[in-house]
Structure 1
């Protein structure tokens, strides 16, 4: 049993020692972000550590002076010197209060600067990582932990270090005072606080283990809360009466989380009470010994007051010191999650020997025997896939959902790299082209464009940041996309705020948002154009207008068009029919109809549906 306890204790200390690199890194991050404020804070820590000793010593002088004055029978002559001691004690207290207020101000400035700095680092790391990370629930667990801890853990850790330093300075000074009464008294201080330290260390480890265990449930509860309060879900929840269902899920999760937290808090309170009782018994024994020495005449009443204050404050400092160590250990455990997130590395690497992207394209885009699976998936999204998109031509990819069409454009944008084969521009492997240069050569209009809560000119300008302030270019792009009609009706035209995130914003229909995204594509004059279901959110009138603009958008570019609508696909120079990660048919619209295969069959079905939908009801 003793051996097992020793092993557990050794394991805890090994785990604590393993957190030292995280501790050092966290302090360095704080220093990097708030150097001047950190220096000022460190100076205040030292001053506040020394002030309690001054007050304890002044109390001894006051008590001994009072005893001498009473014993002499002439207290009046000594009153002036005692009054000076009282004034000095008041001055020390006032300085301590002023330093505490100054520390709060400095800590507020320091905390704000560092939190913004750390959030910036998390945002940068999130944007640096590949799209593959966003397909993993484990990544979102890590991101949640990093974001949740970023707001306060490092600053709490710094505060713990400051308290540790301040309590340490005070403790050393108090120990020096106690040594005159006996060399064993500082040891008594340590022994009286060890039980409390063990409780803190053990409970902080359990708290961290609980937090890790409940991360998924915490994220689920936040998701249910979002579902019940989000604008995006409000209509459907009411129509399908789902509110009570999600409310029940939320309450069940929160009840379980509260139960676990209360159990942990109860156990800690009981253990803490036991540790305090042990410490109190040791303190009482030491105090009784000192009172006995006063009765024997070995020490004065001032010495007793000095001992009581020094021992009591020393015990508090020692308890605070060990608690600071426990909190530092606990916060270091939590910081491990933050630094674990920072250690994530993107799988998409920059080339060691970069080659410039071909400009302009002369041959085109080529997929050579490409094979690809999404992370954690056994199914091949593309298998031995080959495709050529001639320079200056428009190629359409059609096929059912899951055929691999969107995977093609993700590989072309190097959001992923293939497991086998290669993707080329004029024979140059994409992996040889610097990533930023490659993506600068591509314009993509996604099926679900981002609805930025920003002004109209900003929404369009995000297509090419360098042109955002060029109002003429922005307006030309809007006109070419057919968005100028509804923009002109807005109260502030291109300075109108879009979206409902902020007051005064105007929401758009799905088709209007699509046209704003299309204007972004017109603004960005890159040589490669990718359109992913560009008319999916448009009605038939808007689609007919948009198709008339398609050739203008693609003119002079190498374009890939992904669509389910054959009325859109037929505008392309070449159509490829995809199924199960491969191409099963290729040709122009007329050639594919003559082949009588999958494309022709689907075309006829779409045409019948269109005829039926357009037939007026009797």
Structure 2
């Protein structure tokens, strides 16, 4: 018994600890849908009062009907019965109409609250550092915020409404029973307390189960994505991986399903015991009331009122406690939402920002930069030094994992180095506002996004604030070598791309890359960063683009990451990276003359190319890019 009391106190303490989340949720609802919330409260109050009117009208109707039958005075004796019957019908009709109105108000309110919570989640997802995406626990939080907490405010709102409505009705029902003895309202409450204990205990166990299985639920989502999405479809068929991932999905679902069924079975057994006790208490109270009627102390109308009031009271207590349980469990889940919204980015604007130097006079400098990705013991960069003079094209080459793409992430200030500095004209990047800094940089990422939108929109997304007209869109496409294939699309620049939506037109990998390159050109930023700009292009497309590259880059400071020497040779300066360090530097001719790593790799590549015996001007450049 002592253990049960201690457990009950612990559950009560945990429930009280959720109170701040409840208040914050109500604040969100009020902010999102103030007029609808006021209408909702008014309807709930009316719905809470009407059942009491039904009980009183029922007692009056039964007593007057019994009196009329006893007097046998003809139809005139029913003069008081008919208005009461009409009033009862009117109350029932009004109850139904109010329920329809409440459903409409809740729908409007729910839509606004859902959009408001989605906006909060989206804002926070865009505000957190990229470092959060390196941690599994972040994905667990995001998953719970998106797939659980998103709907919880609405369920919590429904539960609060039920508590308000049923609480009002219950208080009124207790007042109806009070004249028949203080013990009846006490018995009504006592008959429902075991059910409340069972409810809170189960909701807590269910919450713990969801927390424990967040990663397993994400894994089922991942396996479902593998089995249904277009991206992995070809490889799954090629290597016959479908049955393998189906087996993994079904195994996890079997585990989750069995655990969930066991929870439901335990809850059902406990509720059966609690429900039996409740019925015994109700039976005892009903027997006592019958005994009073047989003694002539109460009328049949009193018995009808008691039966209806006690039955409704028990139902209301059950609904009330169910709603309190929903509030409790949803408050537990809402803690995930608010903990997600409370995440603070480490990369933030300075308190006293300075203006970004425009145009660059000196250039970009990496000064003693060391950087490790979150959770990684290996340094991507170690005491790294690099200068990119203003107005020059600098290429970075090296093996995978050398740290090349890390330079881009640090330059865009997705991460901050520790220790070390990155300088624009001798000013640390951390002195600038993030938005202003990033507007001075345009980037072609190694794996650019394929926006499921029109070709024109895919380009102008590079700078939504630009007011250039359609000729500028065409110019950006020509600069990237994308205008020729866009012209061949069914609706030109207004053709919907991708296969996600109806009438979409799919592009090849190289065409998507050239479109992303046009997006990078569209933003007229002084710093141009290209990460593997020709990796998805065929040699002919690469050769065509390289012929125009230096002219297009004129006046910009360019940082180009590439594996292709035929691309790197167009740069003013080439730096060879290995294990987070620059090991060689110079122009293409200088590096060949040094006879180091770059020269050896070039000769190996050219030896393989010469065996193909290409013919025609520019053919060597094209084949070397293979």
Q: TM-score range by the shorter chain?
A: over 0.9
**Residue of structure 2 equivalent to 1:267:** 266
Identify the residue that residue 493 of structure 2 maps to in structure 1.
494
- Aligned pair 1:285/2:307, yes or no? no
TM-score by length of 1: 0.98
Measured against aligned partners, the alpha-carbon deviations of 1:317-375 in whole angstroms (never above 9, x if no partner) come to 12221221111001101111111111111110111110100111001000110111000
Corresponding residue for residue 621 of structure 2 = none
Contact 1:500–1:506, Cα closer than 8 Å, also in 2: yes
Match of 1:189 in 2: 188
CA contact (8 A) 1:409 1:530 kept: yes
Distance in 2, Cα, partners of 1:244 & 1:75: 81
Q: Deviations over 1:167-225 (max 9, x none)?
A: 11001111111110001211111110001000100000111111111111111111111
SS of the counterpart of 2:80? helix
Partner of 2:622: none
Matches of 1:345 and 1:197, distance apart in 2:
38
SS at match of 1:114: helix
- How many angstroms apart in 2 are the aligned matches of 1:446 and 1:475? 21
User: Are residue 5 (structure 1) and residue 4 (structure 2) matched?
Assistant: yes
Q: Which residue of 2 aligns with 1:20?
A: 19
Checking the alignment, whether the CA contact within 8 Å between 1:369 and 1:386 is kept in structure 2 is yes
Which residue number corresponds to residue 115 of structure 2? 116
Judge conservation of contact 1:174–1:314 (CA < 8 Å) in 2.
yes
Alignment-derived partner of residue 231 in structure 1: 230
Name the counterpart of 1:34: 33
Q: Which residue of 2 aligns with 1:105?
A: 104
Distance 1:73 1:517 in 2: 93
Is the CA contact (8 Å cut-off) linking 1:115 and 1:150 kept in structure 2? no
Counterpart CA distance in 2 for 1:193 and 1:57 is 24
Structure 2: how far apart are the matches of 1:97 and 1:252? 47
Separation (CA, whole Å) in 2 of partners of 1:95 and 1:588: 86
Q: Is the 8 A contact 1:456 1:494 kept in 2?
A: yes
Per-residue deviation, 1:467: 3.3
Q: Which residue of 1 aligns with 2:254?
A: 255
Alpha-carbon spacing, 1:143–1:4, altered in 2? closer, same or farther (3 Å): same
Deviation at 1:614, TM superposition (A): 5.4
Partner SS, residue 420 of structure 1: coil
Q: Are 1:308 and 2:307 counterparts? A: yes
- Report the Cα distance in structure 1 between the residues aligned to 2:7 and 2:442, rounded to whole angstroms: 59
Separation of aligned partners in 1, 2:175 and 2:211: 43
Q: Equivalents in 2 of 1:476, 1:215: separation in Å?
A: 49
- 1:318 is matched with 317
- Give yes or no for contact 1:228–1:234 (8 Å, CA) kept in 2: yes
Task: Give CA-to-partner distance per residue, 1:395-415, whole Å, 9 cap, x none.
Answer: 111111111111111100000
Q: Which structure 1 segments of 5+ residues have no match?
A: none
Q: Is the 8 A contact 1:477 1:519 kept in 2?
A: yes
Moved more, 143-152 or 195-204: 143-152
- Structure 2 distance, partners of 1:206, 1:75, is 63
CA distance in 1, matches of 2:187, 2:298: 20
For 1:180-579, what aligned pairs fall within 5 Å after superposition? 180-467=179-466, 470-579=469-578
Contact in 2 for aligned 1:396/1:575 (Cα 8 Å): yes
Contact 1:397 1:576 in 2 (8 A): yes
Other-structure match for 2:591: 592
| 1:72 CA drift (Å) | 2.0
Unaligned runs of 5+ in 2: 616-626
Displacement of 1:76 in angstroms is 2.6
CA gap of 1:428–1:277, structure 2 versus 1, over 3 A, is same
Residue deviations 1:153-172 (CA, integer Å, cap 9, x gap): 11110010000000110011
CA distance in 2, matches of 1:4, 1:188: 25
Matching of residues 162-173 of structure 1 within 5 Å: 162-173=161-172
Whether the 8 Å contact between 2:366 and 2:423 is mirrored in structure 1 is: yes
Which sits farther off after the overlay, 386-395 or 63-72?
63-72
Runs of 4+ in structure 1 off by over 4 angstroms are 613-616
CA contact (8 A) 1:119 1:150 kept: no
**1:150 offset after TM fit, Å?**
4.1
Give the match for residue 93 of structure 2. Answer: 94
167 and 76 in structure 1: CA distance in 2 versus 1, 3 angstrom threshold: same
CA contact (8 A) 1:462 1:468 kept: no
- Larger CA deviation: 452-461 vs 129-138: 129-138
Q: Which moved more, 1:297-306 or 1:51-60?
A: 297-306
Q: Deviations over 1:425-445 (max 9, x none)?
A: 000000000000000000111
Alignment partners' CA distance in 1, 2:365 and 2:290: 93
SS of equivalent residue, structure 1 residue 378 = coil
Q: Deviations over 1:474-533 (max 9, x none)?
A: 011111211111111112111111111101111111111111111112211111110100
CA contact (8 A) 1:372 1:420 kept: yes
